[in-house]
Amino acid sequence: MARRLPDMPRIEWPEGRPVPPSTLAVLDRAAEVIRGGGLVAIPTETVYGLAADALDADAVEAIFRAKGRPASNPLIVHVADAVMARSLAASWPEPAARIAEALWPGPVTVVVPRSRVVPDIVTAGGSTVAVRCPGLPLTRLLIERAGRPLAAPSANRSEAVSPTTAHHVLEGLGHRVDLILDAGPCRHGIESTVVDCTTVPPRILRPGPLSRSCIEAALGGAVVDRSHAVEEGTTRSPGTGARHYAPRTRLEAPGDPPARVADLLRQGLRVGWLTFRAADPVTRALAAANDSLIVVPADPDPDGFARALFATLHALDRRALDRLVVDLPPSDEPWLAVRDRIRRAAREAED
Ligand code: TXA
Ligand code: MG
């Protein structure tokens, strides 16, 4: 594993144009690192991933070491297409076929029975494997050039906020990675929707950029949402446990954010506040009267909010604040995935 800071080359592929030769050269260099058993931080349309050859148990073990991730938490395997996905599965349930057909490439992961070619360490010894075909064409091109499926969890230390830029990866993992590919900020900004296709009906284990109704439309039938099961301790997706996605600074999502922020300021604390109320006179008055308050306006659109959330948490985490306060968005469907991430980040603070 690398001891010095890794190279962080910029890669681009302007839409509708041939792949620039400089980009191909960087992808081939990355493919070589992968084939040599190394670790490459890769852009995807959701968050940056920490990738290694999924069929090389030693390389995958290096992912767990670099992240400080418990061996009990299985990894998602990234594939170039559905054919590669099926080569990793003992069987290909109808729901997986429908999701792959309708929504791949894209930000949804299917859990299917695992083939013996997948090393135990990838699945944490379990009988299923999680696979996804990423929406970013650059990621699929890298998989093709490497000629291997890529095991890739989010490229952060275990329990920290997921990275949505190459700089977040450098800050969080630095010398633990051999190479970081920089393709700019991620389009979705939160991790893929995870759907368990081994049960009838299929179950959503983690909400993500593709909503429940989008998954149901692809399946032509109902799914069960089990993402809340983490709160009951009965989840089958170990990495969706409560202690996840948390910044270092304590984070709260209170019922009455303006009152709570005023209260924290009265206690003499320095506060960062991600809020839908940035333009309200009350908020402006609070900010004008307190140097120790940073107000960050929240995007009223769920996709925009998701895209900015982790980057905002990373940025506020660098400001030596005592507390982060986040307005909890509405509880209707388009907001479910970001509410899930905010609640987890806040729960960590209570431990
Ligand atoms: O968008 C994403 O999914 C990103 C990018 C890099 O692709 N990856 C990602 O990986 O979020 P990670 O490891 O941070 O989260 C993977 C989630 C965890 O909650 C893990 O427990 C779950 O998927 N998972 C993996 N394999 C599973 C399996 N066989 N059964 C159930 N859950 C599984
Ligand atoms: Mg993660």
Give the start-to-end residue ranges of the domains of the chain. 21-235, 251-350
Domain topology for 21-235: DHBP synthase (3.90.870)
Q: Which helix (DSSP H) or strand (DSSP E) does residue 40 occupy? A: strand 40-42
The Cα 7–Cα 267 span in angstroms is: 44
Can you give the pLDDT at residue 238?
Answer: 54
Residue 342, CB-side half-sphere exposure with 13 Å CA sphere: 26
* DSSP 8-state secondary structure symbol assigned to residue 322: S
Q: Decide: helix, strand or coil at residue 70.
A: coil
- Pocket residue to mutate for ligand 1, from 237, 310, 341, 344, most atoms within 8 A of Cβ: 237
| Residue 68 contacts residue 174 (beta carbons within 8 Å) | no
Computed on alpha carbons and rounded to an integer, the radius of gyration of the chain in Å comes to 20
Can you give the pLDDT at residue 241?
Answer: 52
Give, rounded to a whole angstrom, the gap between the first and last alpha carbons of the chain. 33
Strands (E), 133-184: 150-151, 179-180
Can you give the pLDDT at residue 1?
Answer: 57
* Residue among 40, 66, 38 nearest 51 (CA): 40
The strand pairing partners of 49, in sequence order, are 42, 154
Question: What CATH architecture is 251-350?
Answer: 3-Layer(aba) Sandwich (3.40)
Task: Give 76 Cα–ligand 1 centroid separation in angstroms.
Answer: 5
pLDDT tens-place string over residues 95-110: 999 999 999 999 999 9
Q: Which residues of the chain have pLDDT under 70?
A: 1-2, 229-245, 348-351
123 CB under 6 A from ligand 1? Answer: yes
Can you give the pLDDT at residue 244?
Answer: 58
75 CB under 6 A from ligand 1? Answer: yes
156 CB under 6 A from ligand 1? Answer: no
Q: Which helix (DSSP H) or strand (DSSP E) does residue 279 occupy? A: none
Can you give the pLDDT at residue 4?
Answer: 85
